[in-house]
């Protein structure tokens, strides 16, 4: 049975009563929904004053002085190019060093990865279905006829089969994460 946003938000508050603080990753695992959905729920709860978003997670309001309000509930901005992050192409890194950071698309996300630790949790939005999937196992399509916010445009898919399906209509070259990183390095100078 699909859960309503309101009942899911109540569960988040219940979970926080037990755990005090939770990371986005823990909420994704616990509730079985995408990180973007969690973000929307948290923004709603933060607007209602029920929770406080913290660096990389969330706490019950008032339980975590100092870290509360470190992250505004405004729309997420790309850590690479500073544009608003669209749901369709969001790229999210749960970084040990920087907390939760987002990029507007796989292009900016891959640039971001250059600054992250190898064991950071990295999620990318599947361009066909809008689910967050692990960036390491996703397939990347470069040079297709679909233009995205950044150039060279890179689209991400949950797996190679989906990418191939899309490639038949829109062209481009399918790459793994490391191939896409290499491709970007040759097109840009990443410091
Ligand atoms: Zn960007
Ligand atoms: Zn972009």
Per-residue pLDDT reduced to its tens digit, 122-133: 999 999 988 899
- Please state the domain extents for the chain: 5-60, 87-187
Distance CA 148, CA 104 (A): 9
Per-residue pLDDT reduced to its tens digit, 14-67: 888 887 788 888 899 999 999 899 889 998 888 888 888 877 677 776 543 444
Report CA(67)–ligand 2 centroid distance (Å). Answer: 29
| CA distance from start to end of the chain | 48
Distance CA 115, CA 88 (A): 23
Question: Whole-prediction pTM value?
Answer: 0.62
Report CA(81)–ligand 1 centroid distance (Å). Answer: 4
Read off the DSSP letter of residue 93: E
- Is residue 47 helix, strand or coil? helix
Q: Could you say which of 1.10.10.10, 2.40.50.320, 3.20.20.140, 3.90.1150.10 is the CATH number of the domain covering 5-60?
A: 1.10.10.10
Report CA(18)–ligand 1 centroid distance (Å). Answer: 36
């Amino acid at each position: 049975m699909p859960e309503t946003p309101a009942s899911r938000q109540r569960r988040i508050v219940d979970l926080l009563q037990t755990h005090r603080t939770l990371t986005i990753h823990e909420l994704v695992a616990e509730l079985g929904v995408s990180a973007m959905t969690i973000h929307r729920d948290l923004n709603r709860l933060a607007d209602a004053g029920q929770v406080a978003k913290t660096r990389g997670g969330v706490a019950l309001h008032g339980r975590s002085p100092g870290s509360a309000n470190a992250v505004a509930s405004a729309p997420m901005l790309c850590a690479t190019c500073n544009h608003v992050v669209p749901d369709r192409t969001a790229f999210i890194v749960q970084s040990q060093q920087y907390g939760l950071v987002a990029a507007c698309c796989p292009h900016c996300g891959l640039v971001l990865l250059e600054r992250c630790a190898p064991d950071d949790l990295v999620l990318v939005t599947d361009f066909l279905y809008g689910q967050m999937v692990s960036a390491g196992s996703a397939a990347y399509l470069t040079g297709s006829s679909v233009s995205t916010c950044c150039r060279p445009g890179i689209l991400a898919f949950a797996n190679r089969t989906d990418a191939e399906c899309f490639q038949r209509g829109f062209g481009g070259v399918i790459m793994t994460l490391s191939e896409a990183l290499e491709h970007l390095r040759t097109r840009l100078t990443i410091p």
